[in-house]
Structure 1
Amino acid sequence: MNFLHLLLPDFALILCGYVVCRYTALNRTVWEQVESLVYFFLFPVLLFQSIVRSPLDLGATSSLIGAGLLLGVSGIALAYLLPHLPGLAGRIDAREHAGAAQVAFRFNSYIALALSERLAGPQGLLLIAVLIGVCVPLFNVAAVWPMARHSRTGFARALLRNPLIIATALGLAANFAGFRVPAWLEPTVARVGGASIPLGLMAAGAGMRLGHLANQKALSAGVLAIRHLLLPFVAAALAWAFRLEPMQATVLLAFSALPTASSCYVLTSRMGYNGPYVAGLVTLSTLLGLASLPLALGVLRAWVAA
């Protein structure tokens, strides 16, 4: 599989947003409105549609769900512990960490869906939908908590007002209730949700300030190492421990090595944190996926199957 072809569109859109914002009349004033549109409307629609698209068979995928949740908890714990690790204490700014911690454990759902379909067809889509359904609520709560805690805003209030968490909760409730988007409405919903990906990536590029990465070298290296190096190894260990079927192990390994979510930038920016810095991390994460995906799906998958 050519991972460059898979990740190039996302990177090209980030670069496009950067160029358009810097060298045309479509400056930050325009892109701030785009961020609001993506955050409050387009991306919530995509989340809802992704979760309700396929019935969640919790019984048949219980081992995959257990491994996925443990993988997610591991990523969250590592991200939260980063400023307290030996050698890093005092070198990581607490506010910057609150906004950037999510980069270590969140994932690009668009690439997840595309990659799973290429790896395992419709069954792969169903398995990744299960992981999205059970992990997105956990990841969104974990992404909001450090920022709400550091800014001393009410955590419950921040959750209840977060459109991504609202969309996820509604999607899960609708899925378990057996609701499906009506066939006549599905094309419109798909187009609305689909628009969130290119606009979100371009907004990340428009907000990017690569100079911010140099100011937070330890934090940048830490969150990206968790996302692209440590989590694939954790996933391989969990796939072995849970004795996952080959297809489930493949999906879990792919899930562990994905680039971080493009919406990290939008969430950070809308909550008043350093969006340009996180946009730079999103860009680097997209590039690092070219290394972590072959590691997970080549070396580590062979080890699990052995």
Structure 2
Amino acid sequence: MLERILGIILPVFLIVALGYVYAWRIKPDMTMVNRISMNVLAPALIFSALAGKDFDVTQSQLLMLGSVAVVLGSGLLAWPVAKLLKADVRTFVPPMMFNNCGNMGLPLAVLAYGAAGFSPMVALFTISNLLQFTLGVWIINHHARFINLLRNPMVIATVLGFAFALWHPPIPEWLAVAIKMVGDALIPMMLLSLGVRLFEVRWDDWQLGLVGGIVCPLTGMAVAALFSWAVEMDQMQHGLLLLFGCLPPAVLNFMVAEQFRQEPAKVASIVLIGNVLSLVFVPLGLALALH
């Protein structure tokens, strides 16, 4: 079991470490790379996975419902923790709800379950993103305008992907291959970008970051385990939901906090320390998922 877990997590952390070292040596400007990843590569991956033959939307309904439960449940459990710490709920709660399903969850799902685990994890990734761009933004700013959400390439790709998954219109083979090739570039690019971003974040407010880095995976795994116990799921779906629950806070939380000026330095510390602590919690989540 230990050898299998190491075989799953080491490639992921090595690529993140490569991005960190590259940032230390070169100090690259990742603005354009991140923009391409979010506006081109991610939509291509989402559409390719959801519209592909390997994804069955009816069989994944419980899993997607489970992801909603994990996101909402983690937020509800984190709320009193924020009050106890006397931290701003708008700063602390969203990073507990929205985890690193893209950067870390997708490659871990592929390494743990092969191609069969990829499309379901993409579905969890899309559900989490939709909730972050709606509920997550609303928590931070009640007056945010959601019209821009409809213009988001990932949202458009999600709608189209689920439409193709439900009605199965034909896609030319050459077009499907081209979209898949573009989408396949996302995973290594996101891992490298995560390493670069972790280098740029400072260790200020480490106490809040430490608490957040522990609360996020613990609440996620607790809600995932409770949902799996309450609802009958197959072994792979159970494992994927636990894997989803154990992930650290997403880097996107920092970007959203920066956009709305919601204590971005504190959110950055939560993200940084949470991802460092994933060295402990991801193997734990994998052990439970593969048990």
| Coarse TM-score class (shorter-chain normalised) | 0.7 to 0.9
| Structure 2 residues without counterparts, runs of 5 or longer | none
Q: Is the 8 A contact 1:79 1:101 kept in 2?
A: no
TM-superposed deviation, 1:74: 0.8
CA distance in 2, matches of 1:134, 1:38: 18
TM-superposed deviation, 1:200: 3.0
Give the 3 Å change call, closer, same or farther, for CA 93–201 of structure 1 in structure 2. Answer: farther
Matches within 5 A, 1:24-103: 24=26, 27=28, 30-53=29-52, 54-58=54-58, 60-79=59-78, 82-83=81-82, 85-86=83-84, 88-89=85-86, 92=87, 97=91, 101-102=94-95
CA distance in 1, matches of 2:175, 2:159: 21
Query: Per-residue CA shift, 1:26-62, capped at 9, x if unaligned?
Result: 53xx32222222222222222222322244342x454
TM-superposed deviation, 1:215: 2.0
What does residue 20 of structure 2 align with? Answer: 18
> Which deviates more, 257-266 or 166-175?
257-266
Q: Which amino acid aligns with 1:163?
A: P
Q: Give the secondary structure class of the aligned counterpart of 1:17.
A: helix
Q: Give the secondary structure class of the aligned counterpart of 2:185.
A: helix
Q: Is the 8 A contact 1:265 1:279 kept in 2?
A: yes
What does residue 195 of structure 2 align with? Answer: 205
CA distance in 2, matches of 1:12, 1:187: 28
Q: 2:183 matched to 1:193?
A: yes
Q: Which amino acid aligns with 2:135?
A: A
Q: Is the 8 A contact 1:35 1:266 kept in 2?
A: no
CA distance in 2, matches of 1:133, 1:158: 17
**TM-score, L = length of structure 2:** 0.76
| Structure 1 residues without counterparts, runs of 5 or longer | none
Q: Which amino acid aligns with 1:46?
A: L
Q: Is the 8 A contact 1:269 1:275 kept in 2?
A: yes
TM-superposed deviation, 1:282: 4.7
Q: 2:96 matched to 1:138?
A: no
Q: 2:159 matched to 1:169?
A: yes
Give the 3 Å change call, closer, same or farther, for CA 79–192 of structure 1 in structure 2. Answer: farther
Q: 2:241 matched to 1:252?
A: yes
Q: Is the 8 A contact 1:110 1:197 kept in 2?
A: yes
Q: CA RMSD in A?
A: 3.7
CA distance in 2, matches of 1:297, 1:158: 36
Q: Which amino acid aligns with 2:19?
A: G
Give the 3 Å change call, closer, same or farther, for CA 273–175 of structure 1 in structure 2. Answer: farther
Q: Which amino acid aligns with 1:230?
A: T
Q: Which amino acid aligns with 1:32?
A: T
Q: 2:290 matched to 1:291?
A: no
CA distance in 2, matches of 1:230, 1:265: 20
Matches within 5 A, 1:196-275: 196-208=186-198, 212-218=202-208, 220-261=209-250, 263-264=252-253
CA distance in 2, matches of 1:121, 1:13: 19
**TM-score, L = length of structure 1:** 0.73
Give the 3 Å change call, closer, same or farther, for CA 136–36 of structure 1 in structure 2. Answer: closer
TM-superposed deviation, 1:142: 3.3
Identity of aligned residues (%): 25
Q: Which amino acid aligns with 2:10?
A: L
Q: How many residues align?
A: 288
CA distance in 2, matches of 1:269, 1:121: 35
CA distance in 2, matches of 1:43, 1:56: 20
CA distance in 1, matches of 2:145, 2:130: 15
Give the 3 Å change call, closer, same or farther, for CA 234–194 of structure 1 in structure 2. Answer: same
> Which deviates more, 46-55 or 262-271?
262-271
Q: Which amino acid aligns with 1:138?
A: L
Give the 3 Å change call, closer, same or farther, for CA 217–15 of structure 1 in structure 2. Answer: same
CA distance in 1, matches of 2:98, 2:182: 26
